[in-house]
């Protein structure tokens, strides 16, 4: 077929539409229609709008692109191939296959050019708020000569329907993130049928009420110049994030499936693909990409090389705090901050949220990129950095007031972490980790280096009752692969917990108490870094008592009582399962010898403790409203129960032998 009469840009757009059909068709899985409809928008972004160098995907001052409508991943993969990020045509042919570079939804740390992992709807648009927050903060701190870029997002009706988009958009408007531009793919089609079945929101009014600049550009989905002009108008609004509403037609230009819910999935078979390609003036050949189209996009992908060179020169001549800039980009924060932590005398009682606060204060003084706050619980969470808060007027501030937006906070933390240049943390009560689970899972999946600070970690919360008393939360979070969870017992372990977070390329969960616990002898930073270690030993122990967090001191007290009764007990702290499990078996055996019975105690569900202990003391029910100490006592989280249960266990073993 002769395509010589087709304008080169039009030909490129048509090739993108064809790849949007071919990739899912070969995989027999995926979403075709959205990629087809958005091909012109993708073309405009990657050839006319965005600043990037495809050969240098980690350039710190690149524009960020987020495909929040991650089900249309074939669109992003097609652009990454065409513009030269390293994907080959064979990678598109391996779409959604085992160990391919083009998985079913875009995954950060898996494919160059993918900034954040998207697919769970709403996460991408919320991550983008974090990306924009990091850019705004670094630009204010180091100047636009080092940091001056935009975040562009493609979002669909599903993204705007999910609750997290409301939280994130509200925060973005409040902070005036003017370099955030979201293009809303307003196609009026969901999987079940027309969006009108379940959605009658006025997106324009909604985002305007959040403080966004909004422009509805209507039926121009195939007009490259109109799309470009609208995005440039959005860029000109410097004090507000922007929403550009673009009316598209899913499955365009198919006469059979355009504007139907079938186009949301795998509607286009060989016959319909051939018909669409004929309409587009393309040969009916799978994965057909002519050299002239590749050349056009590779030119666009290489255009940023000169901008990278100019940026490098600006960095070299930068007269500001160059060491702080280098430290922020490297993320290599060392351990010197530990020397700045205020010392606590043994026996002094503090809640671990308070000992963590001491670490936060020291980290803020030592690490320029340390940034974070709380979901309206700054003092309660020990999440005070100090100084002026980050705001629309002061984006250089480091104290973030996320407001009561736990889900949005979690997603923003992921975005900030994936942006780079900052070490972000966010705090709330542990029971509200339920609101944050989607971004926590994405953080673990994408190795986002952020810290989730969760306090009020057990029924020790007390009078607020079972709605605020976590019991299943710690164990459910331990079940997430790639999430490092640490429950420290005192200041020494809190220091170790924060050091472990700094040393880990991925997310960390810090589980902290409301109630006070004593500073203990024998706890250590090094022990936390090993995950589990001996706090108090005994020669030829009869029993190993394993505790975490606020229950560790109960094990030490029980060991003393047992000693008086002629029973020798070793006390082991197990603040981090993930780190302990990473030790060699021989090193684990030195701490938990397989020939010595073990008892664990943790103020939460006992599920899972069987991997380390013969008997587990815990709470396999919801709590009660009463003073925290009384609740703990009545539910068996006390020294007497450890002593009695130990004796029962040893009696059973003795009888069995």
| Secondary structure (3-state) at 247 | strand
CA atoms within 13 A on the CB side of 246: 32
In sequence order, the β-bridge partners of residue 613 are none
- Residue/partner pairs of 647-654 with CB below 8 Å, 24 or more apart: 647/565, 647/567, 649/543, 649/597, 649/599, 649/614, 649/615, 650/542, 650/543, 650/567, 650/597, 653/597
The DSSP result for 33-102, as a single string, is: HHHHHHHHHHHHIIIII----TT-TT-TTSPEEEESSGGGHHHHHHHHHHHTSS--HHHHHTTT-TT-SS
Q: Which of 360, 393, 443 has the alpha carbon at shortest distance from 108?
A: 443
Out of 406, 493, 578, 602, pick the active-site residue.
406
Alpha carbon distance 45, 289 (integer Å)? 20
In the beta sheet, which residues pair with residue 218?
A: 246
Encoding tokens for residue 254?
């198919």
HSE-CB of 634 using CA atoms within 13 angstroms: 14
Q: How far is CA 370 from the centre of its chain?
A: 16
Q: Rounded CA gap, 525 and 531, in Å?
A: 10
Token pair 């013969």 in the structure block, residue: 614
CA–CA gap between residue 403 and residue 166 (Å, rounded): 13
| Angstrom distances, CA of residue 285 to CA of 54, 83, 451, 520 | 27, 21, 49, 71
Told to judge if 519 belongs to the known catalytic residues of this protein, a careful annotator would answer: no
Per the structure block, which two tokens stand in for 568? 């020798």
Q: How far apart are CA 273 and CA 284, in angstroms?
A: 8
Contact predicate 145/428, CB 8 Å: no
Catalytic residues: 406
């Amino acid at each position: 077929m002769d395509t010589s009469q087709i304008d080169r840009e039009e030909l490129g757009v048509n090739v993108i539409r064809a790849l949007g059909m071919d990739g899912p068709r070969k995989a027999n899985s995926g979403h075709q229609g959205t990629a087809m409809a958005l091909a012109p928008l993708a073309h405009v972004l990657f050839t006319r709008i965005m600043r990037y160098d495809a050969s240098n995907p980690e350039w710190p001052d690149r524009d960020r692109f987020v495909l929040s409508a991650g089900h249309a991943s074939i669109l992003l993969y097609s652009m990454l191939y065409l513009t030269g990020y390293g994907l080959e045509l064979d990678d598109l042919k391996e779409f959604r296959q085992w160990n391919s570079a083009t998985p079913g939804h875009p995954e950060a740390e898996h494919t160059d050019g993918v900034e954040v992992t998207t697919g769970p709807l709403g996460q991408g648009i919320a991550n983008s708020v974090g990306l924009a927050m990091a850019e705004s903060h670094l630009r204010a701190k180091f100047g636009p000569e080092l940091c001056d870029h935009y975040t562009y997002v493609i979002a669909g009706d599903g993204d705007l329907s999910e609750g997290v988009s409301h939280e994130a958009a509200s925060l973005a408007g409040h902070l005036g993130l003017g370099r955030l531009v979201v293009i809303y793919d307003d196609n009026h089609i969901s999987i079940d049928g027309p969006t009108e079945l379940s959605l009658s929101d006025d997106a324009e009014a909604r985002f305007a009420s959040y403080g966004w600049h909004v422009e509805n550009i209507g039926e121009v989905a195939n007009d490259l110049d109109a799309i470009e002009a609208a995005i440039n108008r959005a860029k000109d609004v410097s004090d507000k994030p922007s929403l550009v509403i673009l009316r598209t037609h899913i499955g365009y230009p198919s006469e059979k499936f355009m504007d139907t819910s079938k186009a949301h999935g795998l509607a286009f078979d060989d016959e319909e693909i051939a018909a669409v390609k004929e309409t587009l003036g393309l040969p009916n050949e799978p994965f057909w990409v002519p050299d002239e189209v590749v050349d056009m996009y590779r030119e666009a992908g290489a255009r940023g090389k000169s901008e990278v060179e100019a940026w490098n020169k600006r960095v070299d001549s930068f007269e500001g705090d160059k060491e702080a800039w280098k430290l922020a980009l490297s993320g290599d924060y060392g351990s010197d901050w530990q020397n700045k932590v205020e010392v606590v005398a043994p026996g002094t009682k503090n809640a671990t949220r308070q000992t963590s606060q001491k670490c936060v204060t020291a980290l803020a003084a030592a690490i320029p990129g340390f940034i974070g706050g709380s979901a309206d619980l700054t003092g309660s969470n020990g999440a005070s950095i100090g100084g002026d808060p980050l705001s629309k007027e002061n984006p250089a501030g480091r104290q973030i007031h996320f407001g009561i937006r736990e889900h949005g906070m979690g997603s923003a933390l992921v975005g900030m972490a994936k942006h780079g240049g900052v070490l972000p943390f966010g705090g709330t009560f542990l029971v509200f980790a339920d609101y944050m689970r989607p971004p926590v899972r994405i953080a673990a999946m994408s190795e986002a280096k952020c810290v989730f600070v969760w306090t009020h970690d057990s029924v020790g919360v007390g009078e607020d009752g079972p709605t605020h008393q976590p019991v299943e939360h710690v164990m459910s979070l331990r079940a997430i692969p790639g999430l490092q969870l640490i429950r420290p017992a005192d200041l020494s372990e809190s220091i170790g917990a924060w050091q472990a977070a700094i040393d880990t390329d991925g997310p960390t969960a810090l589980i902290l108490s409301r109630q006070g616990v004593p500073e203990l002898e024998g706890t250590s930073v090094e022990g936390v870094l090993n995950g589990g270690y001996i706090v108090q030993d005994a020669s030829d122990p009869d029993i190993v008592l394993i505790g975490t967090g606020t229950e560790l001191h109960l094990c030490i007290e029980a060991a003393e009582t047992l000693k008086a009764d002629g029973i020798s007990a070793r006390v082991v702290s197990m603040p981090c399962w993930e780190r302990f499990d990473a030790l060699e078996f021989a090193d684990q055996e030195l701490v938990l010898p397989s020939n010595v019975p073990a008892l664990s105690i943790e103020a939460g569900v006992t599920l899972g403790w069987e991997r380390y202990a013969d008997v587990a003391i815990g709470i396999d029910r919801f709590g009660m409203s009463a003073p925290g100490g009384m609740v703990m006592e009545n539910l068996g989280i006390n020294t007497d129960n450890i002593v009695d249960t130990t004796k029962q266990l040893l009696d059973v073993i003795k009888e069995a032998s």
